[in-house]
Structure 1
Amino acid sequence: MPAHRGSGAKRAHEQQDGGIMPSISRFMQRSYAADYAGFALLLVAYTLIQLIVEPFHRMFSLDNISIQYPHADVERVSVVWNIGYAVVLPLFIFLFWALIFRPTAHKINVTILGLAISVMLATFLTDVVKNSVGRPRPDLIARCKPKKGTPEHSLVTIEVCTERSHHTLHDGWRSFPSGHSSLAFSGLGYLALFFAGQMHIFRPRTDLARVLLALAPLIGAALIAISRLEDYRHDVYDVTIGSILGMLIAYFSYRRYYPALKSPQCDTPYPSRAEWASKNGYGKLKDEESRVEGNGDFAVDHLGYDTEQVPLRDTSRERDSERPAGSSSES
């Protein structure tokens, strides 16, 4: 009778393991579905910010010379062109690279996914900060078109503005940080990291041509950022912080899928989640680490690409086996 109950419990456990939720969990663990879902959430959140969120409107003074610059109706690098340079161009290069070199599907997937997450995350965070800070642009007064009789030597609010274009007016309080700069470095910076990894630019005696090719996207991103100063859309502080933010996010996104640039395998992405799950098993991984750590012979560490994997041996047993027969183990 106890055996019958045990077999019934075993069958119930097997049925539970074969249910819907465990299947979904295994699918999420073995694929990049969570990353794609996260990208979709970022896209939805960014869209909602653009549609319903207005920036915080700081008070300003008409005699503030730092916001008296003219408003440029035609930008040197428009939003559309910036998307072309920072998103479409790297994507086209990745697709061209895939056609020429025929990498694995996993490598193509994580490379393009990393670019998409880098761009979307940088754009979302930049807009969140922009709307929260509400810093006036250098051309705010030209956008505002304050009504006559507005006091020049005291702080005033958006209520004195007569500009009827909603976007033109409210965008005047989205100066910090520079969105063009963060987008340019999140996309072109990611491309530069990819070039650096594929060409091993940190390998000893790497030729200068490879280094210059890896630096080219960064130069392009810097020129886009500088154009925002020339159009009086931002000051140096806005552009600098936006550039740093975009580059940090690009590095973060790149390293989620690729090893460090100094690694001998920096051109090869980390194994796919399906491959890792089939070799190690997600459910048993933690138990296996606990079992190995409990042996007390060695500490479990992450053996990355940069580490030299040396076989673990019990040297004390080797010394005992090499001692002459009859000799004492104590000196």
Structure 2
Amino acid sequence: MSRVGYAAGTASPLTRQGEVTGTMSRIYQRSYPVLDTIALACIVGFWVLIQLFVTPFHRMFSLDNKAIQFPFAVVERVPVVWSIVYAGVIPFLVLLVWAATYRPTPHKVQVTLLGFLIAVMLTSLITDIIKNSVGRPRPDLISRCMPKKGTSAESLVAWTVCTQTSEHILQEGWRSFPSGHSSFSFAGLGYLTLFLCGQMRIFRPRTDLCRGLVAFVPLLCALMIAISRLDDYRHDVYDVTCGSILGFLVAQFSYRRYFPPLRSATCDEPYGRDEISGSEGFSKLADDEEQQIFGHGSTSRQWESREESYALAETTSPRAR
């Protein structure tokens, strides 16, 4: 059978496969925020399950360890609720005010808020997974634990020597690494900093310093929240540093999924729906022979153009003579 007849016949299996993958790619381009929302709901669900059913690993400790002999602060400088307000609620309200003031496209508002929520919830999930797996004692563990009288001070002891009646206070004593306040604050406020940097284009040449200072105010607030954990003896420098890095890395990951780099000329605009994947979607790349025989319509047009040019050459040759 000639190649022309093959191309003009019924669609080959490879062609049908390319059409299916192209259709699936177009559907994904139109619905990827919905899929990300479903993934966000799964992240929230796993985080809730960890809060309800998971207890941390209890590392053994000794009573003469000075690193865990700090007093237990009953009143925290930044309680958990206020950390959520400072690093979660306030940045979200700032983004809502920005959306109401500047009236951007619905797509831009959608991916901006979605990226923020993914940053804070994914950071919270990763932080709690690490906390419960590592089980590192807090600097105020002995004050929390209230060990039994007569417990040996030189040898390693287990958590069963504790007489603390509050289960929450006791279990939190083994959730020191990494700092949850630090990771959450650098995720929420760090994302807000990245967003402000992009919208004000602070890395554009000859940008005034005032824009940069405004953009970095949230990051300074996140730093102050992280330092408060040292003042309350809830964490040490190692916990706070690792938590801060973790939160900002997740914020950067979430922001860059929807927005171009900050040095880009279009850093203030998110990726369009047609830029999520190629127009052809994900499919197997055909070799040269398959491309000629089973191409996506363009090959058949090439064969047709060859036929037309050949017929034109025959008709014009008598006139040339």
TM-score normalised to structure 1 length: 0.78
Partner residue of 2:136? 135
Separation in structure 1 between the aligned mates of residue 49 and residue 26 of structure 2, nearest angstrom:
32
Q: Is the 8 A contact 1:61 1:156 kept in 2?
A: yes
Partner residue of 1:74? 75
- How far is 1:283 from its partner? 5.7
Contiguous gaps of at least 5 residues in structure 2: 1-8, 293-321
Higher RCO, Cα 8 Å, sep 6+ = 2
Structure of greater Rg = 2
- How far is 1:29 from its partner? 4.2
Separation in structure 2 between the aligned mates of residue 9 and residue 57 of structure 1, nearest angstrom:
62
Matched, 1:96 2:102: no
More off after superposition, 21-30 vs 239-248: 21-30
- How far is 1:203 from its partner? 0.8
Separation in structure 1 between the aligned mates of residue 150 and residue 277 of structure 2, nearest angstrom:
74
Matched, 1:282 2:270: no
- How far is 1:164 from its partner? 1.1
Matched, 1:59 2:60: yes
- How far is 1:137 from its partner? 0.2
Contiguous gaps of at least 5 residues in structure 1: 1-5, 296-331
Separation in structure 2 between the aligned mates of residue 64 and residue 277 of structure 1, nearest angstrom:
53
- How far is 1:95 from its partner? 0.6
- How far is 1:199 from its partner? 0.6
Partner residue of 1:46? 47
Paired-residue identity, %: 57
Q: In 2 relative to 1, CA 8–59 (structure 1 residues): closer, same or farther, beyond 3 Å?
A: closer
Q: In structure 1, what residue type is equivalent to 2:180?
A: G
Partner residue of 1:196? 197
- How far is 1:282 from its partner? 2.5
Partner residue of 1:30? 30
More off after superposition, 30-39 vs 140-149: 30-39
Separation in structure 1 between the aligned mates of residue 11 and residue 220 of structure 2, nearest angstrom:
67
Equivalent positions of 1:1-331 (< 5 A) are 27-31=27-31, 32-272=33-273, 275-276=274-275, 280-282=279-281
Q: In 2 relative to 1, CA 252–8 (structure 1 residues): closer, same or farther, beyond 3 Å?
A: closer
Q: In 2 relative to 1, CA 149–210 (structure 1 residues): closer, same or farther, beyond 3 Å?
A: same
Q: Is the 8 A contact 1:184 1:224 kept in 2?
A: yes
Partner residue of 2:317? none
- How far is 1:27 from its partner? 3.9
Partner residue of 2:301? none
- How far is 1:74 from its partner? 1.2
Q: In 2 relative to 1, CA 7–227 (structure 1 residues): closer, same or farther, beyond 3 Å?
A: same
Q: In structure 2, what residue type is equivalent to 1:30?
A: R
Q: In 2 relative to 1, CA 280–60 (structure 1 residues): closer, same or farther, beyond 3 Å?
A: same
| Deviation sequence 1:153-190 (CA, Å, 0-9, x none) | 11100010000111100110000000000000000000
Q: In structure 1, what residue type is equivalent to 2:30?
A: R
TM-score normalised to structure 2 length: 0.80
Q: Is the 8 A contact 2:25 2:277 kept in 1?
A: no
- How far is 1:276 from its partner? 4.4
- How far is 1:38 from its partner? 1.1
More off after superposition, 32-41 vs 102-111: 32-41
Separation in structure 2 between the aligned mates of residue 24 and residue 259 of structure 1, nearest angstrom:
25
Q: In structure 1, what residue type is equivalent to 2:271?
A: Y
Q: Is the 8 A contact 1:30 1:277 kept in 2?
A: no
- The secondary structure found in structure 2 opposite 1:246 is helix
- How far is 1:26 from its partner? 5.5
Q: Is the 8 A contact 2:57 2:135 kept in 1?
A: yes
Separation in structure 1 between the aligned mates of residue 144 and residue 74 of structure 2, nearest angstrom:
10
Separation in structure 2 between the aligned mates of residue 8 and residue 141 of structure 1, nearest angstrom:
74
Q: In 2 relative to 1, CA 24–174 (structure 1 residues): closer, same or farther, beyond 3 Å?
A: same
Q: In structure 2, what residue type is equivalent to 1:236?
A: V
